[in-house]
Amino acid sequence: MIIKRLKRLLLSNKLKFTVATVLILYILIFSNIPTGFSYILHASDISGVDEEGRFLYMHGLEDEEVFPSGDFSVNRNFEPADFETEIHKNIYSFDLNDDFLILVNKDHPLLKDVDCELKNYNGFDVDERIYDSLQEMMKDAKNDGINLFISSGYRNYNTQSYLYEKKINYFKRLGYSKEEAIEIASKKVTPPLTSEHETGLAVDILSYGHDIMDQEFGESEAGVWLRENCFKYGFILRYPMGAEDITKIQYEPWHFRYVGKDAAEFIYINNLTFEEFYELILEYNESEKTK
């Protein structure tokens, strides 16, 4: 009798241990904890990618709509420099034929997939020419106690088309008309050939301290560090808060674009969007033609 009870007890404990093990594995794989195993699992399956082309475990809340907050002071924390002085002193040095200064948006679409040499950075392709600058920025952030990681890099036409259509269908399921769904979706995922990710010059960056793509990332330690230091490495915060009427894209504190160190510094000092910077170069070039 005693032996039978012992056997039942052992079997019971084994069952509990097995159940507990399975439960722990389930939590690690399907929760937002960024383990290497869950990373591989999601990275290998297109269903594990959200509408922005990022792995779902990093995003946390799939399809949750994010609207700009009412505080537009964030990321507009510098008084513009003396524009006349800065423009006449520096604007002439920028050439719109520079590959790094290509403007890509809904008004300036690409004609086809960009033909660039790609290099893999921790699982994501980027234009090989920005690799060293990106690596240096990530390394310096780590030296300052901030562990960053890339959550999205280069996308080709097919990938961007898939993400765009998926977002439109999401809003249609919510009851919006096709026209309304397209209008709302395009503020979150740009149509194919209008996304900076198709150039290989844009990356989405998060941190292990804040691994969700939301507006609060901009006020996290990592978001602040990136905003204040990215220009040193040739990057700009591409879609700043308060500039949605210019960029036509909602505030994205995780999206950074490489433009080169000189251009990034000029944009940062003068508190410009890339669209405004681009227009200044056009205006300067036109003024030179009339002389």
- Residues with a known catalytic role: 252
With 0-12 / 13-18 / 19 or more C-beta atoms within 10 angstroms meaning exposed / middle / buried, residue 286 is: exposed
Residue 154 DSSP label? -
Structure tokens at 222: 């990592």
CA distance 152 to 161: 15
Q: Which helix (H) or strand (E) holds 22?
A: helix 2-30
Radius of gyration of the chain, Cα coordinates, nearest whole angstrom: 23
Q: How far apart are CA 220 and CA 218, in angstroms?
A: 6
Segments of the chain assigned E as strands: 118-121, 124-127, 148-152, 202-207, 235-239, 252-258
**Residue 53: closest CA among 213, 194, 234, 236:** 213
3-class secondary structure for 87-123? HHHHHHHCCCCCHHHCCCECCECCCCCCCCCEEEECC
